[in-house]
Amino acid sequence: MTVAVVLLTTALVTVIALLAAVGAAVLARMDGATYPTTLTRAATAFAAVITLAAAVTAALSALLAYS
């Protein structure tokens, strides 16, 4: 059961990160950015979402370890 929850949560975070990256790429292209700049902005958005998810996971695991 725990493995399934972890896998589903990982899949959900990955999908959300991909959606954020696509949104950033679309907005960059609408702004008139070149394709390399668009790819850079999309990669930055993807990395930011993954980093935020990792930070939240670390904070929650630290809190749950003391309870």
The closest alpha carbon to 46, from 15, 8, 7, belongs to 15
Angle in degrees, CA 40, 43, 46, rounded to 5: 150
pLDDT in tens, 8-58: 999 999 999 999 999 999 999 999 999 999 999 999 999 999 999 999 999
Q: What stretch of H or E contains 35? A: helix 35-65
Q: Computed over its alpha carbons, how large is the radius of gyration of the chain?
A: 15
Tally of residues, the chain: 67
Q: What is the model's pTM?
A: 0.89
